Amino acid sequence: MSDTALPTRIALVGNPNSGKTALFNALTGSRQKVANYPGVTVERKEGSVTTPAGRRALVLDLPGTYSLRARSPDEMVTRDVVLGHLAGETPPDILVCVADATNLRLVLRLVLELKQVGRPMVLALNMFDIAERQGIRIDLAGLSQALGVPIVTTVAVRKRGLEALLAEVDRLTGQAAIAAAWHQPSAGDLRESARQAERILKAHVKPPLRPDTLTGKLDGLLLHPVAGTLILFAILFLMFQAVFTWASPAMDLIDASFAQIGGWVGAVLPDGLLHSFIVDGIIAGVGSVVIFLPQILILFFFIILLEDFGYMARAAFLMDKMMGVAGLHGRAFIPLLSSFACAIPGIMSARVIDNRRDRLTTILVAPLTTCSARIPVYTLIIAAFIPPRQVYGMSLQGLVMLGLYAAGISSALIVAFIIRRIIWRSASEPFLIELPAYKTPDAWNVARGVWQRGQIFLQRAGTTIFAMMVLIWVLATFPYAPADATGPAINYSFAGMIGHAMLPVFAPIGFNWEMAVALVPGMAAREVAVGALGTVYSIAGDNTAGLAATLASKWSLASALAFLAWYVFAPQCMATLGVVRRETGGWFWMWVMFGYMTGLAYIAALITYRIALSFGAG
């Protein structure tokens, strides 16, 4: 075969939670790239693979969908790619419909819809090992004949069935698409497809002779309205306790390493501008942010582990009623949970919500949940002002961290209630979700996910955070203090000027000028505020060991609590605001978000500061 031949384009289509992305990762490995579709902000994943016949194929991982009668932005992209209607996107040569072998009811209807498109197609029954373990009996030959498509079985997380799937791709390559006059299915068409899919299911898929009692027992406990909710909150509690207790040794090691590096470099370089730039600007600034890497990795470890286990959909089911009271759609749970890691993927994942008002509400409140970029700020202040003692066998610092997360979640629900019950008086649509089968988490997938998140954080430390630290050092160093200066030199710098100019606005909420000036670079990335404080206090000549100890000696408890309250509601970083603008299609909702979050942050800090002062925390 000629190397110049055009590669076969394979589109992976399927319901959400079918293991489609796991199959994509298994096929393409590291040979993949992530970008956006032309003209839209929906993420596209494309990778390459070589088939048994030596053909090069491009694999496209399409967003999950239940029907080509698309309603959400994600589903619209999937429909347009499958039909070859997306501008700038070459139509796929072969469709691979990926199905969860333990739950075929909805995917069979999708298969019947995809057949009408007329493109060569193969059905991949994924998670087939779980279906066999549960005792589900599938007549593969009969099902293939009834659907009119070839079927292969796969176990994506174990890389089983990949050769058979690619061999089927080789067999289908070159087959011309059948001319088909596809039309948007009506409600009647969908009902008829559902009835046909039900007949096929009953004829060729038999339930287990002995039901999977383990799944039933687990769901009976984990989905119980009382016990299940208590278990969910216990898991969240364990997660935030672990963020403090498990991460401490690694954080201490990183802190000591950066201190030692700073000492070595400082001993080699003579006093002067270069010494200040490297030691105070770069090492002290970047090091004060990188120290929080272990906590971020632990948070992502829990999230990825629970996703792999199959618990996240059940958590969304449990939270549906609670969020429904606030006017949020049940599907909003996943975007809100994703926002614990970062508001950007949380906002982007709101595309799965069909109704535009439900989607807008979710986008507007998602940034109120505590993202990982807040962890460095929270941890720094808690370490400086909250004693590391035990309360009833639990870490007091961990309890405070959990309280800050709870404040973010509560505020998101309250704002959603105001939007949906006062501004937009309309009811949310009912919540329907497929509960995936329980799976033993794959250690390699979990490790790879945590590793990728760590890389992203370190890349930010090496790019955005590094650039902001350089900027802060420049602002805090120049211009030099005059010869007759009586105060610290930093008071005469640009940073000092900016901070003192902002002070009249922030003094009522207990902020000093150093706190005020740290908010400015914090708009680039939240964790930069910590590095900014480290740089400012280092240049100010404070020799106290450790930034937390420095703040404990410089700030009052009331000011520290007000700073924490500000960051519960603080306006988002520029990248998040940019994503909001793209997802909502304009500037209006971005400015609405920025305005209301700034107002909430100021009011919360003011109330917290005044209450703390009334209790003698000044």
Encoding tokens for residue 396? 């007091």
Encoding tokens for residue 264? 């070595």
In whole angstroms, give the CA distance from residue 392 to residue 386.
Answer: 16
| Position 431 confidence tier, pLDDT thresholds 50, 70, 90 | low
* Residue 491 CB partners (closer than 8 Å, separation 6+): 481, 485, 500
Residue 463, Cβ density class (10 Å: 0-12 exposed, 13-18 middle, ≥19 buried): exposed
| Position 151 confidence tier, pLDDT thresholds 50, 70, 90 | very high
Residue 170 resides in a domain: yes
DSSP 11: E
In whole angstroms, give the CA distance from residue 275 to residue 134.
Answer: 65
Say what the pTM is: 0.64
CATH of the domain at 38: 3.40.50.300
In whole angstroms, give the CA distance from residue 241 to residue 403.
Answer: 11
Residue 270 resides in a domain: no
Task: Return the bridge partners of 138, or none.
Answer: 205
Per residue in 366-415, pLDDT tens?
Answer: 999 888 778 888 988 998 898 888 887 778 888 888 889 889 888 988 99
User: What's the CA angle centered on 331, arms 328 and 336, to 5 degrees?
Assistant: 75
Total domains in the chain come to: 1
If we measure between CA atoms, which residue out of 76, 42, 55 comes closest to residue 9?
Answer: 55
| % of the chain surpassing 70 pLDDT | 89
CA 245 to chain centre: 23
If we measure between CA atoms, which residue out of 209, 21, 11 comes closest to residue 127?
Answer: 21
| Position 330 confidence tier, pLDDT thresholds 50, 70, 90 | low
Q: Give the per-residue pLDDT at 586.
A: 85
Q: Give the per-residue pLDDT at 211.
A: 66
DSSP 527: T
| Domain containing residue 67 | 8-211
Residue 65 resides in a domain: yes
What one-letter code names the amino acid at 85?
A: H
Tell whether the model's pLDDT for residue 436 goes beyond 60: yes
Least confident residue range of 31-45, 132-146, 494-508: 31-45
Residue 157 resides in a domain: yes
Encoding tokens for residue 250? 């690694």
Q: What is the SS3 assignment for 60?
A: strand
Tell whether the model's pLDDT for residue 188 goes beyond 70: yes
In whole angstroms, give the CA distance from residue 199 to residue 613.
Answer: 70
Strands (DSSP E) contained in 54-136 are 56-61, 94-100, 121-126
Average pLDDT rounded to a whole number, residues 439-464: 78
Residue 186 resides in a domain: yes
Residue 266 CB coordination number (10 Å): 16
Q: At what angle do helices 574-584 and 356-365 cross, to 10 degrees?
A: 170
Q: Reduced to 3 DSSP states, what percent helix, strand and coil does the chain have, rounded to the nearest 5?
A: 65, 10, 30
In whole angstroms, give the CA distance from residue 76 to residue 184.
Answer: 12
Tell whether the model's pLDDT for residue 37 goes beyond 50: no
Residue 161 resides in a domain: yes
Per residue in 336-359, pLDDT tens?
Answer: 877 776 787 778 778 767 778 888
Question: Any idea of the CA torsion for 433, 439, 443, 445, to the nearest 10 degrees?
Answer: -40
If we measure between CA atoms, which residue out of 301, 297, 269 comes closest to residue 283?
Answer: 269
In whole angstroms, give the CA distance from residue 325 to residue 103.
Answer: 30
Residue 178 resides in a domain: yes
| Position 542 confidence tier, pLDDT thresholds 50, 70, 90 | low
Residue 331 resides in a domain: no
Q: Give the per-residue pLDDT at 1.
A: 45
